[in-house]
Amino acid sequence: MNTQRNGEIMKERTKIEMKTKPLLSALLVIILLSLCFMPTALAAPEQPLLQISSVTFNPATVSPGKEFKMVVTLTNHGDYDAHNVTLDVLSQSGANDLGVFSMVGSGSHFYREEIPSGESATIEIPMVTSPNAEAKNYNLNLQINCETSGGSVYNFTETVGIVINESESMSIIAPDRFVLAKNDKGVTPINFEIANFGSNPVRGVQVSVSADGVDFSKDYQYYGTFEKDDNDDFSADVTTSQSGEFPGKISVKYMDSFNNERVIEKNITIVSEEATTQTAESGDENFFQKFLRVVFGIGA
């Protein structure tokens, strides 16, 4: 009897162990996974940790030969406060110096007394680009240093990108005032020039001109692509129903090499010292006037 009972007990124990082992294995896996993920999710570095959280530019578009401010925001993601924070603008990536950039009004070294843990601070960096800078993306290397209240020093390197966009490539070469005067054909034209003085070709160049109280023989012209240093003329005959000064505008629209649509405008004044609407005396005869003169001698 005892042997039979012992056998039954062993069978029950085996069943319990078979049920328990998978549960223990699953629990062990859960514990191991928790230990793996808890440090990264919960623990911040036991030191100051400065990182660039944003970079903005004023003006927003950086152009060749123009001054701008690079506004860098530093955020302390560490557990410790950062003291004696310095930021140094080191060099343009791929160069030994700042390349097409120069500092304006200060050196390349900037200081903040403290950035507490979890807080941010901004640093304005005034700069200027070379007039000959090619329109493209550039990278600047920065060095950030700080220390704890106990004097431990930490260094961080960062790289920021700066896009140098084209300046206004196209130019309108025109006087501010057009004083109308009849030419030998008895019409009063206006003429001006457009040119690409930028460093890159532009596409889809088109010109329009307008003025209240003024009629143009054409007020729009499409030119297409302008290579660097290309230029062309716009000419139109103008008529007015009365004398006076008429404010107007010349507009040039084009696509730059970054595929951005650009529009430049110039305000002008058209001065008419007398009404320039063509008459029979200053223009060609119409058919009816010619018929009366030939058949009846009227107006001869």
- Tell me: pLDDT of 288 over 70: no
In a domain, 20, yes or no: no
Nearby residues of 64 by Cβ (< 8 Å), 6 or more positions away:
129, 130, 131, 132, 133, 135, 164, 166, 167, 199
Q: How far apart are alpha carbons 168 and 256 in whole angstroms?
A: 9
In a domain, 272, yes or no: yes
In a domain, 4, yes or no: no
Q: Among 16-25, 36-45, 48-57, 139-148, which is the least confidently predicted range? A: 36-45
Does 67 share its domain with 151?
yes
Does 156 share its domain with 189?
no
Instruction: State the average pLDDT over residues 9-26.
Output: 59
Q: Which helix (H) or strand (E) holds 122?
A: strand 120-129
In a domain, 118, yes or no: yes
pLDDT of amino acid 299? 47
Rg of the chain over Cα atoms, rounded to whole angstroms, equals 39
Average of per-residue pLDDT values in the chain:
83
Nearest 5°: phi and psi at 174? -155, 150
Does 152 share its domain with 178?
no
Q: What is the pLDDT of residues 54-95, one digit of tens each?
A: 999 999 889 888 999 999 999 999 999 999 999 999 999 988
Instruction: State the average pLDDT over residues 146-173.
Output: 91
Structure tokens at 110: 């900037």
- Tell me: pLDDT of 292 over 80: no
Does 190 share its domain with 221?
yes
Does 96 share its domain with 116?
yes
pLDDT of amino acid 44? 62
Q: How far apart are alpha carbons 68 and 93 in whole angstroms?
A: 19
Structure tokens at 89: 């603008």
Q: Are 138 and 164 in contact (CB under 8 A)?
A: yes
pLDDT of amino acid 172? 96
Nearest 5°: phi and psi at 293? -70, -45
Does 128 share its domain with 174?
no
Whether pTM > 0.75 for this model: the answer is no
Does 84 share its domain with 156?
yes
Q: Among 22-26, 188-192, 279-283, which is the least confidently predicted range? A: 279-283
Among 163, 187, 214, where does a domain finish? 163
Q: Are 64 and 164 in contact (CB under 8 A)?
A: yes
In a domain, 206, yes or no: yes
Q: How far apart are alpha carbons 84 and 147 in whole angstroms?
A: 6
In a domain, 63, yes or no: yes
Does 138 share its domain with 190?
no
Q: What is the pLDDT of residues 130-149, one digit of tens each?
A: 988 888 899 999 999 999 99
Q: Determine the structural domain holding residue 208 and report its residue range.
A: 170-277
In a domain, 37, yes or no: no
pLDDT of amino acid 279? 44
The DSSP bridge partners found for residue 140 are 92, 160
Does 54 share its domain with 159?
yes
Q: How far apart are alpha carbons 98 and 83 in whole angstroms?
A: 27
Domain CATH code at residue 63: 2.60.40.10
Q: How many domains does the chain have?
A: 2
Instruction: State the average pLDDT over residues 155-182.
Output: 91
Does 143 share its domain with 174?
no
In a domain, 286, yes or no: no
